[in-house]
Amino acid sequence: MSVAGAQQAITQGALDAIFNEPGTADQRFPVPVLQCLQIKPLAAQQAPGGPTTQERYRVVLSDIRNYVQCMLATQANHVIHDNQLARGCIVRVKSYQANEVKGKNILIILDLEVATELGTHDRIGEPAPFEAKSTDTSTAIGGTGFYGAKTESPAPVIKAEPMSSRMGPAGGGMQSTGSKAHGNIVIYPIEAITPYAHKWTIKARVTSKSDIKTWHKASGEGKLFSVNLLDESGEIRATGFNEQCDAFYELLQEGQVYYISTCKVNLAKKQFSNLPNDYELAFERETMIEKAEDQSSVPQVRFNFVPISELQSVEKDVTVDVVGVLKDVGEVSQIVSKTTQKPYDKRELTLVDDSRFSVRLTLWGKTATTFSAQPESVVAFKGVKVSDFGGRSLSLLASGTMALDPDIEEAHRLKGWYDSEGRADNFSTHNSMASMGAATGRKDQTKVISQVKDEGLGMENPDYFTLKATIVYIKQENFAYPACSEEGCNKKVVDQGDGTWRCEKCDIAHARPRYRYIMSVNVNDHTGQLWLSCFDDVGRIIMGMTADELMEVKENDEDRAPAIFEAANCSKFTFQCRAKMDTYGENPRVRYQVMSATPIDYKTEALKLADMIKQFGISS
């Protein structure tokens, strides 16, 4: 677009309104259109002995009349990484916070969009630097020099005072400690909180709150609780100990918005938190918390969903968010910890999504026993830990949360997909053997059965190959074994004869085992037949149910079980296999292990055949 067109699109006077008329700026300029004059990366900071903070960028934006220094929130860094934001381009600022820091106006950019259709131009007009009308720095925020805050009306606060000052005569009941704040409240973005920032107040929503936990040690005893706090810029964890636990536990309620100030800022203990923040807060005696009258201006929750198909690329013990359709809801079972000898309740769920992968997710404790969602519901999980058990599995952390049928775009899309086609789909899983194949760095080659045998695959070294074949027979004897229910263990358990099953590895007795498939299937293609070994993930895909469910059928309805096996025959799959020399008794033989299996996609296969025909120059 021409310079004249770009100039006409820019909202002249927007900066003056944003900083000097905040009450009307949102109505006059709901999405300011500005020109980018400069982009500058900032040097990373590091707390003493702590991790380096995320990369930050300073930009200068102009509305033709004025220009102002801006700081990109890390959530907006993608416009830099994707090479979208460049000097001279025109941008739409979709979300921002206007601040005054040490007498200078700073704009925190939370979300922006590059208007590529408006083109890139040399500086338009002669914008002047925008200076704050007031140089009173009494409410300015210290810290990096680029973060700031917006001001809101005064609000009452509740302050955690020493317990002795809040007790009535003779140790009577706790008294009210409400007081009024003086002057305007300076609202600080969560993302800007560091140990170097002082005199800040955040306005944040409590997205989760833990139960009160107690500890007893030789050095003393105590209690604590923690909350996750969210605003437009980010999330942070806050913890209250002992007196602060008494003062704030009942006040802070999930889903409510609060003003919070005067907390200690520490480096985050990643083993206890599922939030992407380098820092966390600790409530202190001087901490002040007040419930906000305006409960709608802060987001409800922020998810960063990872498709189930991509979990294989996520490192073990990393925390992620997932959303999926409940394919299966297991019963509550109980395990006994080997270290503490305490019993723990658990429940296993199977989630699927439109990437056509499934994953097992474990709930623990009260969350497991109170879970009541029905299969085919959509559930969003925030804060689940990735395990490499069974290739990839998930476990909901104590600090994590879940939302049943949430009113978000991703959930509506999944529901529509499942109702229209997903209900009839078969799903792949992240089998641990598949990750072994990937680790070899070898690309699987598609083979027919005669090639697998004639080429001696697996005779010298493990070989990986893809096979398209039809199941013609499944051995029904010993198709599953009783396994340990402990997370990360799939060892066989032994019936103790007293109603319990014992795992020697974990040294735990279970009320009941969790059956896992260990199947032998015979497959055919047009060149021959082959026996394949299948473990639990593949067995679920072939049989369309868990080994627990099939074992229950076999025990309660012997006539029905053979029909289920028969129904699985004549199914066509694409098998990813590993061929490896094995020894059975004293006889060496090649064993063909299925790493993953997916139903044949006839449309994709037809397109591949069409491409092959073109390669040979055959035309119709």
Same domain, 142 and 160: no
pLDDT in tens, 219-244: 788 999 999 998 888 889 999 999 99
CA dihedral 251, 256, 259, 264 (to 10 degrees): 70
CA 533 from centroid of its chain's CA atoms: 33
Q: Choose the final residue of a domain: 424, 451, 467.
A: 424
* Mean pLDDT to the nearest integer, 561-575: 91
Instruction: Tell me: pLDDT of 62 over 90.
Output: yes
Instruction: Tell me: pLDDT of 147 over 60.
Output: no
Same domain, 267 and 313: no
pLDDT in tens, 481-528: 999 887 778 888 998 888 888 888 888 888 888 899 999 999 999 999
> In sequence order, what are the beta bridge partners of 454?
none
* Mean pLDDT to the nearest integer, 565-587: 86
Helices 547-556, 560-568: axis angle to 10 degrees equals 140
Q: Is residue 507 part of a domain?
A: no
Same domain, 133 and 26: yes
Q: Choose the final residue of a domain: 96, 124, 146.
A: 146
What phi and psi values does residue 141 have, to the nearest 5 degrees? Answer: -105, 135
Amino acid found at 377: S
Q: Is residue 575 part of a domain?
A: yes
Same domain, 96 and 193: no
Instruction: Tell me: pLDDT of 246 over 90.
Output: yes
More confident residue, 361 or 268: 361
More confident residue, 345 or 298: 345
pLDDT in tens, 515-561: 999 999 999 999 999 999 999 889 999 998 999 999 989 888 878 88
Instruction: Tell me: pLDDT of 423 over 90.
Output: no
Same domain, 581 and 437: yes
Q: Domain range for residue 443? A: 432-479+518-610
Q: Choose the final residue of a domain: 361, 391, 424.
A: 424
Arithmetic mean of pLDDT over the chain: 80
Q: Is residue 620 part of a domain?
A: no
pLDDT in tens, 159-213: 444 333 333 333 333 333 233 333 456 688 888 888 877 788 899 999 888 889 8
Same domain, 15 and 56: yes
Instruction: State how far the alpha carbon of 292 is from the alpha carbons of 109, 158, 189, 204, 469, in Å.
Output: 24, 12, 16, 9, 63
Residues 131 and 106 sit within 8 Å (Cβ to Cβ): no
Q: Is residue 544 part of a domain?
A: yes
Return the pLDDT at 108.
86
Q: Is residue 72 part of a domain?
A: yes
Instruction: Tell me: pLDDT of 436 over 80.
Output: no
Please state, in angstroms and rounded to a whole number, the distance separating the CA atoms of residues 309 and 425: 15
* Mean pLDDT to the nearest integer, 586-593: 85
Q: How many separate domains does the chain show? A: 4
Lowest-pLDDT choice from 52-56, 118-122, 390-394, 440-444 = 440-444
Same domain, 474 and 566: yes
Q: Is residue 29 part of a domain?
A: yes
More confident residue, 400 or 265: 265
Q: Which two tokens stand for residue 382?
A: 């925030």
* Mean pLDDT to the nearest integer, 3-12: 90
Is the sign of the CA dihedral 416, 419, 420, 425 positive or negative? positive
Same domain, 56 and 131: yes
Same domain, 186 and 41: no
Return the pLDDT at 274.
66
Q: Is residue 172 part of a domain?
A: yes
Please state, in angstroms and rounded to a whole number, the distance separating the CA atoms of residues 492 and 484: 6
Kindly report whether the global pTM for this prediction surpasses the value 0.75. Answer: no
The domain spanning residue 558 has which CATH number? 2.40.50.140
Same domain, 246 and 381: no
pLDDT band at 134 (very low <50, low <70, confident <90, very high): very low
Please state, in angstroms and rounded to a whole number, the distance separating the CA atoms of residues 235 and 252: 16
- Sole residue written with tokens 């209900």: 423
Please list, in sequence order, all residues whose beta carbon lies within 8 angstroms of the beta carbon of residue 82, skipping any fewer than 6 positions away.
Answer: none
Instruction: Tell me: pLDDT of 409 over 80.
Output: yes
Q: Tell me the chain's radius of gyration from C-alpha atoms.
A: 30
Instruction: Tell me: pLDDT of 396 over 70.
Output: yes
pLDDT band at 254 (very low <50, low <70, confident <90, very high): confident
Same domain, 68 and 189: no
Q: Is residue 485 part of a domain?
A: no
Helices (H) and strands (E) in the chain, counts: 13, 35
Return the pLDDT at 313.
76
Return the pLDDT at 444.
54
Return the pLDDT at 440.
44
Strands, DSSP E only, in 456-511?
A: 463-474, 480-483, 494-495, 501-503, 508-510
* Mean pLDDT to the nearest integer, 22-48: 77
pLDDT in tens, 319-336: 888 999 999 998 888 887
Amino acid found at 298: V
Same domain, 361 and 266: no
More confident residue, 158 or 292: 292
The 3-state DSSP class for residue 355 equals coil
Instruction: Tell me: pLDDT of 126 over 70.
Output: yes
